[in-house]
Structure 1
């Protein structure tokens, strides 16, 4: 990580009553007086605000929109990881053992659900390839198995969303909030990072669930956290919804032109799934790094 210096006030190194000395060719650092937030704090605040703006634009829920949110989430956690490695951050959090333990539990849940998600997406990609072969052969029985697999994945997404519903349900220690401005800002960005992680993760799971579940049971009536209500969770991902059960049923009775159109949509869907898989894996790795750095605040002395 590239070091970042705070703004400082520099004092001259010569005294008016002393003999003059040759000019010094380099800047001499002196006592530093902080004049603003640490640049990393300012950076992550910007990234978090941009992610909140992203979540407010959920009326056009496409795979590109979802991938953009996951990329922005990765940036937030990369910045948070950098902040957690700062000596002053480690010193502040080392005295907040109970709160850090709760954060570690939350991040463990995030890491777990993203790990399970990666496994589910791998299975989905395999089902996609098998389904495309079945469509070419107009094998309705094999297509039916594909649709059954999609419903299973939709249910898995609901379970994953349930697993993170309790994240962040505890207060920030008062001792951290009243100690100084720097600690207050630190607590604020950590809490907001958790909040936007919930927003993106719930958008990911709800998008896939709503797209692949039957219309009657879409999203299975799951009650999401209040922080996710800004997202229209009942809306599906556009490209995922385009390959509906209706266009896949009864292919044996369809002409070749219809089958070709279905195949093109399936191939496009496969590309979208691969894109979501790729960026979600990067976000997953960043979450792991964040948790490791958070754990280090308790173990390093």
Structure 2
């Protein structure tokens, strides 16, 4: 990105601060992790690949914590403690924590929906299937609201105090870059969960009745996991046994459980990083 050279220059040369002659390994690792996370955006096409990307984010914040332990980084932050960009950075972490909590809650809600659908299919419970469809509709509305909030936050990500020296600017942009890829991950996940095709749909109950008579549905290979379920429950049904959906749902349940645990871990890491920043400012 445009500030890669600036970042490299800033972490190699010092003016008023005593910077090391060579960049600390954590600095290079940060660039590598950002590169991997950015590169994974195009290939993030399943719940399991999103779990991998979430793991990348967790590793990124571990790396940021390592950077915040470096004396010259702490010196920059402590000297900038009264500036607006530090306040903006701390406010950003509050927003990230809120967004992470929302994402984790929605993932948890989705897991319960999938578990409920599994139970309903095993029992051939029409009311249980209806509950899944109703709950999913409500979840989509909640997610659309969350996406709107995330996009509003993204539009306010202007970095202040651009008259700072190169070392300070480099640190600012590293931390803001981490914030940016985190928000992008949240947006991608929520958009993925709401994915569905705009299609004419049959009457819900006539379609469910067909399903209960062991009819079948064809899956398009480019559909994500949630679209496959939507198509199964809401599109025309062809010759496929209902049981063919069960392994798909069980695999989804496991992947969503991993996502839920991943978001819980990321939440704790965001809190830890925020505490590190506050401790630096208070000393």
TM-score band (shorter)? 0.7 to 0.9
3-state SS of the aligned residue for 1:184?
A: helix
- Alpha-carbon spacing, 1:148–1:86, altered in 2? closer, same or farther (3 Å): same
1:163 corresponds to which residue?
Answer: 149
3-state SS of the aligned residue for 2:273?
A: helix
2:170 corresponds to which residue?
Answer: 185
Are the equivalent residues in 2 in contact too, given 1:62–1:237 (CA < 8 A)? no
1:200 corresponds to which residue?
Answer: 185
Shift in Å, 1:79: 0.9
Structure 1 segment 262-301 matched on structure 2, within 5 A = 262-299=245-282, 301=283
1:209 corresponds to which residue?
Answer: 194
Computing the radius of gyration from Cα coordinates, the structure with the larger value is: 1
Shift in Å, 1:175: 4.2
For residues 139-198 of structure 1, the C-alpha deviation after alignment (integer angstroms, 9 at most, x for no partner) is 22220111111122222222222222224522242343x2xx433332231121112112
Q: 5+ residue gaps in structure 2?
A: 1-10, 13-17, 200-221
Structure 1 segment 144-155 matched on structure 2, within 5 A = 144-155=130-141
The one of 54, 60, 68 aligned to 1:70: 54
Are the equivalent residues in 2 in contact too, given 1:37–1:182 (CA < 8 A)? no
3-state SS of the aligned residue for 1:37?
A: coil
Structure 1 segment 43-122 matched on structure 2, within 5 A = 43-58=29-44, 61-96=45-80, 97=82, 98-122=84-108
- Alpha-carbon spacing, 1:42–1:86, altered in 2? closer, same or farther (3 Å): same
Q: 5+ residue gaps in structure 1?
A: 1-5, 8-31, 217-235
Are the equivalent residues in 1 in contact too, given 2:195–2:226 (CA < 8 A)? no
Are the equivalent residues in 1 in contact too, given 2:99–2:186 (CA < 8 A)? no
Are the equivalent residues in 2 in contact too, given 1:120–1:153 (CA < 8 A)? yes
3-state SS of the aligned residue for 2:41?
A: helix
Q: How many residues are treated as equivalent by the alignment?
A: 242
Shift in Å, 1:103: 1.1
Between 182-191 and 46-55, the greater mean CA deviation after superposition: 182-191
Normalising by structure 2, we get a TM-score of: 0.75
1:84 & 1:143 partners in 2: Cα distance?
50
- Alpha-carbon spacing, 1:128–1:173, altered in 2? closer, same or farther (3 Å): same
Are the equivalent residues in 2 in contact too, given 1:51–1:69 (CA < 8 A)? yes
Are the equivalent residues in 2 in contact too, given 1:51–1:196 (CA < 8 A)? yes
Shift in Å, 1:254: 9.6
Are the equivalent residues in 2 in contact too, given 1:118–1:277 (CA < 8 A)? yes
